[in-house]
Chain A
Amino acid sequence: MAEIPIMFILAGLAAYTVLAGADFGAGLWTLLAGPGRASRAASRDHARHAMGPVWEANHVWLIFVLVVCWTAYPVAFGSITSTLAIPLFIAAVGIILRGASYALRGQLDGARGQRTIENLFALSSVLTPFALGTVVGGIASGRVPVGNATGNPITSWLNPTSVVIGALAVAIGGYLAAVYLAADAHRLGERTLELDFRARALGSGLCAGAFALVGLLVVRYDAPPIFNGLTNGGGAAMIGVSAAAGLITLLLVWRNHFGAARASAVLAVAAMVAGWALAQKPRFLPGLTIDQAAAGRSTLLAIIIAVAGGAIVLVPSLVLLFRLFLRGRLDPAVTPDATVLNPPPIPQKVKTRLLSALAGAALVIGAGVTVFADPGWARAVGIVCLFACAIFTFGLATAELGETT
């Protein structure tokens, strides 16, 4: 049972890399918008608009990873966050700047300061995944000892493994984004944009592959235990899957099959995460296995129940969102906000008398019971009455709207 939450975490991490990674990548492409066939501005706008409806939902995967980690493996979480405080803080600041500049940019068409905001957005889109990648590198290379800030605050994340993984994270994001944006341009019939992003996808895909190979070499000297894991058994198998899927993806992009390319790119990333997990298993931090790090039985059970129950609601919702999104049902609206027509409002019959009586009664009972009754159930009744009073009164207050001055 101790291992189930770590699977949730890994699944969340893979989802975050694939989904939010692409959002970060879109930011990267607003920075590197030229040179291309389409104008810089068109390229930027395309990158920016494409992430509109989904970035918040994609971002929640990170929250999910954090909260499952601190609930199920609290000691490991405390050790990681205290030793790796600097990159985590950088990532956090990057996230604020990114969200804020994205929100601001949306309101800014043509205004002064637009460029500054755009650059801020792009820079934070590179900084955040890089910082998060270094965190992964610190954990993978065994540089986070158990305890409150007992690791080296600098070399735990500024080391060869971390830097390579950080760069890899940025490249993967750029790659996923380019594939996705090419597909999106194709759907919109924007031929030049499609070609641009296809070229970018090929370039960044090669970069990501190169970083992955370099990473393997670096790990060999910098973190031998992980290297052993990655080159033997399940770890090696996963790395093989990842490499194969990566190559196939490039081929698919080359042949303009963007939809299929997206699927195989996801597979490549997921296999990479799985490979890391298998290579490191059963060690979580040096001297701390997953079993030892796990919280007690009832906590693990609670997490599993919560995630399973949550998934029942979450999965159909996510499917709905992405179906609407990928079919262009959530593209920016074409009509303005205001609806011109003003048909004569249908006169509403509100039973004012009845509502007033109910509101008054609920107020007297609710306030009386809440203030003077002590048993818990009586107080609950009181609160319910106060809510009822609020609703009745709201009905009265909004009965005729806007007619009177």
Chain B
Amino acid sequence: MTTLLATVCGVFASVDQNYLLQARQMQALSLAVHIPLVCFGIAFPAMVLFCEWRYLRTGDGLFRTLARRWSKVMLAVFAVGVVTGTILSFELGLLWPAFMASFGNVFGLGFTLEGFSFFIEAIFIAIYVYGWDRLAPRAHFLSGIPVAIAGVTGSLFVISVNGWMNHPGGFTLRDGRAANAHPWSALFGNFYFWHEFVHMYFAGYIVTGFLVAATYAWGFLRGRWGRYERTALTIALSAAAIAAPLQVVIGDWAAREVASAQPTKLAALEGLGPTTRGAPEHLLGWYNGHEVIFGIEIPRLLSLLAFHNPNATVAGLDAVPAQDRPPVNVERFAFQTMVGIGTLLALLGVVYLYVRLRHKRLPRSPWFYRAVVLAGPLSVLALVAGWITTEVGRQPWIVYGVMRTSQAVTGARGIPIGYGTLIVVYLALAAGVAWLLRRFSRLPLEVDRDG
């Protein structure tokens, strides 16, 4: 048995792969396509159910119309989420077979549980969306609840895997493979996973809320502003506007977890070359291999934020050998994009909430609505930038400190062909979606609104 394991490890040890970079980009591309759809899986069912609940309580047909329309979008987004997610499952094996072979026994459980969430989500989303006229109102409402729950648990289980990749535990390493795996504690006894999950959960509401609100804000700018549109915008925008400022607090928590578990990632986020006592923070600028140049320096802020002590010592990139450092500029750029956008979104949210709660109305300035139109795509950008921060900051490790990405990659040829094909397919998909959106926006008003 042990000899067999040894040969197995020997075979899986390391291969020559000239296209590691393309493999990583291919994985990143597929994830970046999948993840905005996931936000809808997390947040949209709850929003739809909120509308239906209002309908059941008030008998106001407008809420039913709204819930119905949104539920159709929800189903379409879910379908695209299903196929893009399937690609990801395939890719884990196609691109990183050695990672799966060596550690599948530790983290695989998370995906198994996720699979059951998807089952529940797929089953009840069908019942909910196809059952509008066919089920009793209360039964129909109830059939939507599993969708909302499964959307959240689905992302919870996948993120537990990502949390484990970033902060691995629950196994002993033998010949480069996991032995003695304890999957439950590895995935769910891992503190690193909680901030990722909560941060992503709020991101789900931010992205879904701003994107949905953006379409109605666009309508406002073109003069479509009935009671239906106002209601829809208020619900979606309220969700996003509340989540956005809170996300800043949670992001701060995330940064402190990173500081304690992945000091190298933190150093890369901030472009901190040497280990420094009372480390400053730099906005913008460029990391030249030793320090950040052309940036705006704020003394001691990094130490203060990361350790709540302006004189704390922060480990720099120098603390690890050069081959263990992530690409600093990509990392900084992604991080600052997320934080910059996050701050703007939080401000927009506060403005909205002030007007809404203080004056009990919606903002009137077209500039506000232009900002909301912009906030939709920007929130997606922040989301993807955030994931790039997490994933690129983990490099060169696929399992942090345990297995290098270069050890995980497949030995199969033809990665560039696969990558190229996937790009073409995703471009076609994007064209299809754009075409659909255009078609929707051209539908005559009467078709698009309630009576």
Contact = CB atoms under 8 A, between A and B. Distances in A.
B86 A63 contact: yes
Interface stretch (A185-193, A213-221, A267-275, A396-404): A396-404
A72 B249 CA distance: 39
A1 B11 CA distance: 26
A283 interface: no
Interface string A316-327: 011011001100
B62 A393 contact: no
Interface in B226-272: 227-228, 230-231, 234-235, 238-239, 241-243, 246, 249-250, 252-253
B282 to A, nearest CB: 22
B109 A148 contact: no
Contacts of A111: 439
A85 B450 contact: no
B119 A148 contact: no
Contacts of B89: 63, 66-67
Interface string B104-136: 111011011111101110111111001111110
Q: Give chain A's interface secondary structure class.
A: helix
A215 to B, nearest CB: 26
Contacts of B288: none
A339 B65 contact: yes
B277 interface: no
Contacts of A329: 131, 134-135
Interface in A324-356: 324-325, 329-335, 337-343, 345-346, 348, 356
Contacts of A403: 227
Q: Give chain B's interface secondary structure class.
A: helix
Report the interface size class on chain A: 35 or more
Interface string A360-383: 000000110011100010010001
A308 B434 CA distance: 42
Contact of A306 (B68, B98, B116): B116
A114 interface: no
Given A77-B100, A307-B112, A146 B8 contact: yes
B172 to A, nearest CB: 10
Given A64-B115, A318-B123, A405-B225, A74 B83 contact: no
Interface stretch (B316-324, B329-337, B357-365, B385-393): B357-365
Contact of B119 (A60, A71, A295): A60
A254 interface: no
A396 B181 CA distance: 48
B223 interface: no
Nearest to B308: A372
A89 B360 contact: no
A335 B130 CA distance: 12
B231 A63 contact: no
Contact of A70 (B100, B410, B425): B100
Contacts of B103: 74
B418 to A, nearest CB: 5
A320 B228 contact: no
Contact of A400 (B12, B59, B124, B360): B360
B411 A149 contact: yes
Nearest to B89: A66
B182 interface: yes
B39 to A, nearest CB: 16
Given A57-B126, A100-B432, A340-B451, A314 B61 contact: no
Contact of A102 (B79, B85, B436): B79
A339 B231 contact: no
17 contacts: A52-B126, A56-B78, A67-B108, A71-B109, A78-B99, A82-B412, A85-B414, A146-B8, A148-B11, A302-B183, A324-B127, A329-B131, A338-B450, A341-B61, A345-B60, A393-B353, A397-B241
Closest 7 CB pairs of A and B: A71-B108, A81-B93, A78-B101, A74-B104, A147-B11, A99-B83, A295-B105
